[in-house]
Amino acid sequence: MVSSEELIKIVKELYKNERPPTTEVPKVPQEGVLLNLFRTFENRLIEKCLLPPPQNAGINPLWFLGETERNVFLWRNKKSIKDAESYSFWLDVRKLISKRLAQLENKDPENPFLHPLWGSTAQHTDGRDSERHYLTELLRLYVPAEAHLAAISAVQALVSTISSTEGDPKYNPSKIVLIPLSPIQH
């Protein structure tokens, strides 16, 4: 079996062989995975009953929170959803889980991050417990797969670059957006 690092090296060598010697290998983030790949990963965990269905607990899956941050980035940069194709969105799963857990600690009933029914008069402390449990389980399942998902993301980015036509790259390393968003990205 080929390790993740070996796979990336093989694809980089293929990339170098396909391009003129002056072409630089595209950079990929050191942390995180492509948002679309993570969405598939999380949905498969739910389908295989390794994670409880989030809609049953009235919570959102983590990929949805990642896409929400993607949409905030686009909105703040005066872009539409269709402009998302111009960017490469990478999700730092550990940081997003940490950010979400911190949001859940704010017990103010007017906190819009407590539950999806913002403005509801009902207290949803049990929803927060369900979401904490969900996120803890997701992180437990993600950690062993993290290196593999990162390698697949890197290879996918490199393959997109190789297969793109000159002047119209599908993967543009200058348009990488890391989620959760930092204040600089807003």
The contacts of residue 44 (CB under 8 Å, 6+ apart) are none
pLDDT at 52: 94
Helix axis angle for 62-76 and 93-105, nearest 10°, is 90
Yes or no: say if 162 and 91 are a contact pair by the CB < 8 Å rule.
Answer: no
- Residue 124: the pLDDT is 45
Q: What is the pLDDT of residue 186?
A: 42
pTM, two decimal places: 0.77
Q: State the 10-residue block means of pLDDT for the chain, 186 residues long.
A: 69 63 66 94 97 91 96 93 90 95 78 54 64 96 94 85 60 77 59
CA atoms within 13 A on the CB side of 11: 22
3-state secondary structure of 115: coil
Q: Give the Cα separation of 88 and 157 in Å (integer).
A: 9
Length of the chain: 186
Q: Phi, psi (5° rounding) for residue 64? A: -65, -40
